[in-house]
């Protein structure tokens, strides 16, 4: 069963990736894989934040129209 990725879990994994890369102990291949995973997670987080912002705007606009 595939686990649902949440904003929080993606941010936690990004922190792990940064820590791993900062150690300098990863091989070039491992570093590239981690970087690639990080770019996907960053895109996911950015999209999640954009969606949340849009929802907030929509909800506050409806409230002001009432």
Residue 53 lies in a domain: yes
Residue 2 lies in a domain: no
Q: pLDDT tens across 37-56, in order?
A: 999 999 999 999 999 999 99
Residue 49 lies in a domain: yes
C-alpha separations of 38 from 1, 43, 49 in Å: 23, 9, 16
Residue 46 lies in a domain: yes
Rounded-to-integer distance, Cα 28 and Cα 51, Å: 34
Give the CATH number for residue 13: 1.10.287
Q: pLDDT tens across 5-37, in order?
A: 999 999 999 999 999 999 999 999 999 999 999
Q: In total, how many domains does the chain have?
A: 1
Per the structure, the complete domain to which residue 51 belongs is given by 7-65
Tell me if the pTM is above 0.85: no
Residue 27 lies in a domain: yes
Residue 17 lies in a domain: yes
Residue 44 lies in a domain: yes
């Amino acid at each position: 069963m595939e686990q649902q990725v949440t904003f929080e879990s993606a941010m936690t994994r990004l922190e792990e990736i940064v820590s791993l890369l900062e150690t300098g102990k990863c091989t070039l291949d491992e570093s590239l894989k981690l970087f690639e995973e990080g770019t996907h997670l960053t895109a996911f987080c950015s999209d999640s934040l954009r969606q949340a912002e849009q929802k907030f705007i929509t909800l506050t606009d409806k409230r002001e129209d009432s």
